[in-house]
A and B are shown apart, each in its own frame.
Chain A
Amino acid sequence: MDRERRLSEKAREEIRRLQGLYPQARSALLPALFVAQGEEGYLSEEALEEVAELFDLPLSEVASVASFYTLFHRRPVGRHVIHFCTNLSCMLNGAEEILAHLCRRLGIQPGETTRDGLFTVKKAECLAACDIAPMMLVDEEVYGNLTPQKVDEILGKYREEGSG
Chain B
Amino acid sequence: MPEKLLTRYIHEPDQADITTYIRRGGYEAARRALRELTPEQIIEMVDQAGLRGRGGAGFPTGRKWRFVPKHAPVKYVVVNADEGEPGTFKDRTLMERDPHQLLEGIILASYAIGAHKAFIYLRGEFYGARRQLQRAIAQATERGFLGRNIFGSDFSLDVVLHTGAGAYIAGEETALLESLEGKRAMPRLKPPYFPAVMGLYSQPTALNNVETLCHVTQIVRHGPEWYKEQGPPVLFSVSGHVARPGLYELPLGIPLRELIFSHAGGIRGGRRFKACFPGGSSSMLLVEEHLDVPMDYESLARVGSMLGSGAVIVMDETTCMVKVIARAVEFYRDESCGKCTPCREGTVWLSQIFDRILQGRGRREDLDLLESIARNMTGTCFCPLGESVPPSLRASLLYFHDEYEAHIRTGRCNVLQPV
Residues of A participating in the B interface, judged by any CB pair closer than 8 Å: 21-24, 26-31, 33-34, 55, 64-65, 68-72, 83, 86-89, 91-93, 124-133, 137, 140-142
Contacts and interface: CB of A to CB of B under 8 A. Distances in A.
A77 to B, nearest CB: 14
Interface of B: 74, 83-89, 91-92, 117, 123-128, 160, 162-168, 179-185, 201, 237-241, 245-247, 277, 281, 311, 313, 315, 319, 323-324, 327-328, 331, 334-335, 337
A130 B87 CA distance: 6
Tell me which of A33, A126, A132 has the highest count of chain B C-beta atoms within 10 A of its own C-beta.
A126
Given A23-B117, A87-B331, A88-B327, A128 B126 contact: yes
26 contacts: A24-B182, A27-B162, A28-B182, A31-B163, A34-B163, A34-B165, A65-B183, A65-B184, A69-B185, A72-B166, A83-B125, A88-B281, A89-B240, A92-B315, A92-B319, A92-B324, A125-B86, A125-B168, A125-B331, A125-B334, A128-B83, A130-B89, A130-B311, A131-B246, A131-B247, A132-B245
A96 B126 CA distance: 23
A30 B334 contact: no
Nearest to B244: A131
Contacts of B127: 137, 140-141
Contacts of B84: 125-126, 128
A71 B165 contact: yes
Contacts of A91: 323-324, 327
B239 A133 contact: yes
Contacts of B165: 30, 33-34, 69-72
A110 to B, nearest CB: 13
A128 B88 contact: yes
Tell me which of B74, B163, B313 has the highest count of chain A C-beta atoms within 10 A of its own C-beta.
B313
A65 B239 CA distance: 34
B313 A27 contact: no
> DSSP class of A's interface residues: helix, strand, loop or mixed?
mixed
A134 to B, nearest CB: 11
A30 B163 contact: yes
The 6 closest A-B pairs by CB, nearest first: A29-B182, A69-B165, A70-B166, A130-B239, A140-B127, A71-B166
Nearest to B319: A92
Nearest to B338: A68
Given A88-B87, A88-B324, A126-B84, A30 B168 contact: no
Contacts of B168: 125
Contact of B201 (A24, A65, A68, A92): A24
A21 B167 contact: no
A128 B127 CA distance: 12
A30 B125 contact: no
A25 to B, nearest CB: 8
Contacts of B167: 68-70
A86 B83 CA distance: 17
B394 to A, nearest CB: 18
A88 B328 contact: yes
B86 A87 contact: yes
Nearest to B125: A127
A129 to B, nearest CB: 6
A31 B123 CA distance: 12
B393 to A, nearest CB: 14
Tell me which of A33, A34, A133 has the highest count of chain B C-beta atoms within 10 A of its own C-beta.
A133
Nearest to B169: A68
Contact of B86 (A64, A89, A137): A89
A71 B89 CA distance: 20
Contacts of B162: 27, 30-31
A30 B160 contact: no
A125 B330 CA distance: 10
A79 B324 CA distance: 33
Contacts of A71: 124-125, 165-166
Contacts of A26: 181-183
A89 B334 contact: no
Contacts of B87: 88-89, 126, 130
A86 B180 CA distance: 27
Contacts of A141: 127
A21 B182 contact: no
A12 to B, nearest CB: 17
Contacts of B319: 92
A34 B166 CA distance: 12
Contacts of B125: 71, 83, 124, 127, 137
